[in-house]
Amino acid sequence: MKTPNINFMRSFVEDYIEGRIPRWQFDQDFSHHLMNRYRKMERESPIIADCFACYLDEMGFEAGQSLPDDEYLELIEYRYSEFVSALEDGFF
């Protein structure tokens, strides 16, 4: 199954974690990309789309808005690793 929208969002988060984009750009673009791609992500895999939104949007992006840059990066990295672990463990 092809998942170009899920893959795009994963790559976008990885770019932030690996320092290829700064926080201000991540903050500015994350919600925009997720809003524009979420329905397509749901068509690709409803469960993965929902889990991505839960781990990365609700428990990461939204929860960390008031954190300083270093703590915010740690939070996003942690939530992303939880998401990837769930994928690898066959949780969905």
Maximum CA extent, the chain? 38
Structure confidence at residue 92 as a pLDDT band (50, 70, 90): low
- Token pair recorded at residue 11: 């790559």
Other CB atoms within a 10 A radius of the CB of residue 70 amount to 9
Q: 48 and 87 in contact (C-beta within 8 Å)?
A: yes
Domain ranges of the chain: 4-88
The vertex-81 CA angle with 76 and 82, nearest 5°, equals: 100
- Token pair recorded at residue 82: 């939880």
What predicted TM-score, i.e. pTM, was given to this entire model?
A: 0.93
State residue 90's pLDDT score. Answer: 73
Digit-coded pLDDT (tens) for 5-31: 999 999 999 999 999 999 999 999 999
CA 35 centroid distance within chain:
12
Digit-coded pLDDT (tens) for 41-91: 999 999 999 999 999 999 999 999 999 999 999 999 999 999 999 988 876
